Structure 1
Amino acid sequence: MQQAFLPIVAAALLACTLHAGANAAGVEVRYDASKIHSDAGDTAAQRERRLEALAEHLRTLGERRLPADRRLEVELIDLDLTGTVRPTHRLPGEVRVVTGRADGPHIELAYTLRDAGGATLASGRETLYDAGLPRLGELRDAGGGDPLRHEKTLLDHWFEARFGGEH
């Protein structure tokens, strides 16, 4: 009798855990790396790496900034990285050149913010762009640092503007 009872208890605990996970706070990010984005990379593998890095950044923002009873769903629709790619014969690969404010990053996304019960609190589709990015002081470390630092800064500003007062 006791052995028959244990699988039922285990199944009930698993169901509760799965249900709690579905409503847990955080950020869920979706994207399609196989889709050609404006300027996210020449190959699906390049796009996958870059989009996943931005998705991870959004998840980290959610962990730090969203209240425990909020869940944010984000779809990264399009990405245009900072600068313009210029082929070079002197160096292997490519060089990304920033000539002015028009070379700032662009990110198109859709989002839905939900409460613990699944009710929609806010949603929208936006194209993020900051004409002030990149700033000349940040370009001095062009050879080092995070190659997606401008795009992550843009996401930081958007997250703060949309959800900064939540936590």
Structure 2
Amino acid sequence: MKSLMQKMALAGMFALAAGSAGAAVTVSYVAPDKFTDLPFVPWEREETLKQLTDHFTKLGNSLPPGQDLRVEVLDVDLAGRAIPNARAGRDIRVLRGQADWPRMQLRFSLEQNGQVLKSGEAQLSDMNYLDHHTRYFDSEPLRYEKQMIDDWFEKTIGPLPRNVRR
């Protein structure tokens, strides 16, 4: 599991840095095997982390040329709760809107030419995730987590890219 996560982080860094000529985005996961809530099955866990990495990259690609964003994800608690389902062969995520809101803890640094513009640690959460409109379709995996990340990015880093704005 550890080597899988290291490979994911390394592949993510290369893919993210290559995604935009102007901005580089690096996403890493600190001890993902200890995260509060990620799928248990390795390929589902890997896919979840890949989708989060891709989303941070998409947002970071809107940064001005020369700015680099580094994100270390320290913990993830996905929206809803996973309920084992032998019939489906995998867990089913049930969203109730009670104490099952999405949460994420991360450390970030926004740099330009080696100078730190912004940095810090952030506790993201959306207690009302089912009560407000999201810009993502129901079929979009991690739509509530992505909305939560968008809100943080817009408040902390800068405007959302055109392909993500409302």
TM-score by length of 2: 0.72
Q: C-alpha root-mean-square deviation of aligned residues, in Å? A: 2.7
Distance 1:61 1:34 in 2: 22
Q: Does 1:128 align with 2:124?
A: yes
Q: In the comparison of the two structures, how many residue pairs are matched?
A: 140
Unaligned runs of at least 5 residues, structure 1: 1-20
Q: Determine whether 1:98 maps to 2:95.
A: yes
Return closer, same or farther for 1:133/1:166 CA change in 2, 3 Å cut-off. Answer: closer
**TM-score normalised to structure 1 length:** 0.72
Candidates 56, 59, 62, aligned match of 2:57: 59
Is there any run of 5+ residues in structure 2 with no aligned partner, and where? 1-17, 162-166
CA distance in 2, matches of 1:115, 1:136: 35
More helix by share: 1
Residue equivalent to 2:71: 74
2:85 counterpart of 1:88: yes
Identity across aligned pairs (percent)?
34
* Cα 1:164/1:26, change in 2 over 3 Å: same
Distance across 2 between alignment mates of 1:166 and 1:70: 15
Task: Name the larger-Rg structure.
Answer: 1
Question: What per-residue deviation string (whole Å, max 9, x for no partner) do you get for residues 68-92 of structure 1?
Answer: 1311100111111110112235544
Partners of 1:111 and 1:30 lie apart in 2 by: 10
